[in-house]
Amino acid sequence: MRLILHIGGAKCGSTAIQGSLRDNADRLAKERGILIPGTTLEPTENVTGEQIFFFERMRTDKEQGLIAVTNRLRRLQSYMRERDLHTLIISAENLINPGGFEEFFIEAQAYFDIEVILYIRRQDQYFVSAWQQWHLKTFPSLQDYVDDRLGRDANWNQLIAPWEQTLGAEKITLRRFSRNLLVNQDIASDFFQTMRLGDIYENAAGKTRNKSFNEHLGEVAGRVQDLFEGPHDNTFYDVMQRTIGEKALKPSSGSFLFTSEERHAILAAYEEDNAALKARYFPELGPDEPLFKPPSEKEILKISEDDKRKAEVDLLTRAVYNLANRLTELEKDKA
Confidence of residue 330 (pLDDT cuts 50, 70, 90): confident
Q: Do 206 and 16 meet the contact criterion of CB atoms below 8 Å apart?
A: yes
Residue 236: give the domain boundaries.
213-249+303-335
Helix (H) or strand (E) holding 76: helix 62-82
Distance CA 291, CA 281 (A): 10
Same domain, 86 and 172: yes
pLDDT for 253 equals 82
Peptide bond into 9 cis (omega under 30): yes
Q: What angle do CA 35, 119, 218 make, to 5 degrees?
A: 110
Q: What pLDDT score does 252 carry?
A: 81
Same-domain status, 8 and 61:
yes
Domain boundary among the residues 176, 204, 232 is at: 204
| 216 CB neighbour count, 10 Å cutoff | 23
Res 207: pLDDT: 52
- Sheet with 113-120: strands ordered across: 34-35, 87-91, 2-6, 113-120, 172-176
Assign 332 a pLDDT band (cuts: 50, 70, 90).
confident
Collect all residues with Cβ–Cβ distance below 8 Å to 259 and sequence separation of at least 6: 300
CA-based nearest residue to 107, from 72, 55, 158: 72
295 in any annotated domain: no
One domain for residues 228 and 117? no
What pLDDT, in 10s, does the model give residues 30-62? Answer: 999 999 999 999 998 899 999 999 999 999 898
For the chain, give the mean pLDDT.
93
Measured at the alpha carbon of residue 285, what is the angle toward residues 264 and 210, in degrees to the nearest 5?
60
Angle in degrees, 0-180, between the axes of helices 25-32 and 14-23, rounded to the nearest 10: 60
Any domain includes 309: yes
Domain boundary at 204, 232, 263, which? Answer: 204
| Residues 83 and 230 placed together within one structural domain of the fold | no
Cα separation, 68 vs 41, in Å, equals: 10
Is there a domain that residue 268 lies in? no
Residue 96 lies in a domain: yes
% of residues, the chain, pLDDT over 90: 86
Q: What is the three-class DSSP state of 272?
A: helix
Residues 144, 71 share a domain: yes
Q: How many domains does the chain contain in total?
A: 2
- For position 31, which CATH number holds? 3.40.50
**pLDDT digits over 116-156, tens only?**
999 999 999 999 999 999 999 999 999 999 999 999 999 99
Both 16 and 151 in one domain: the answer is yes
Task: Indicate whether 41 belongs to any domain.
Answer: yes
Distance of CA 133 to the CA centre of its chain: 11
Picking from 170, 204, 238, the residue at the C-terminal end of a domain is 204
Q: 252-281: per-residue pLDDT in tens? A: 889 999 999 999 999 999 999 999 999 999
**Domain co-membership, 54 together with 119:** yes
Q: Could you tell me if 20 and 133 lie in one domain?
A: yes
319 and 220, same structural domain? yes
Q: How far apart are CA 47 and CA 285, in angstroms?
A: 38
AA letter at 188: A
* Residue 259 is assigned to a structural domain of this protein: no
Question: Is the domain of 226 the same as that of 171?
Answer: no
pLDDT digits (tens, 9 = 90+) for 201-244: 544 444 555 678 999 999 999 999 999 999 989 999 999 999 99
Sign of the alpha-carbon dihedral angle for 185, 266, 147, 98:
positive
Answer yes or no: do 198 and 326 share one domain.
no
* pLDDT above 50 (res 94): yes
pTM of the model: 0.92
115 and 242 together in one domain: no
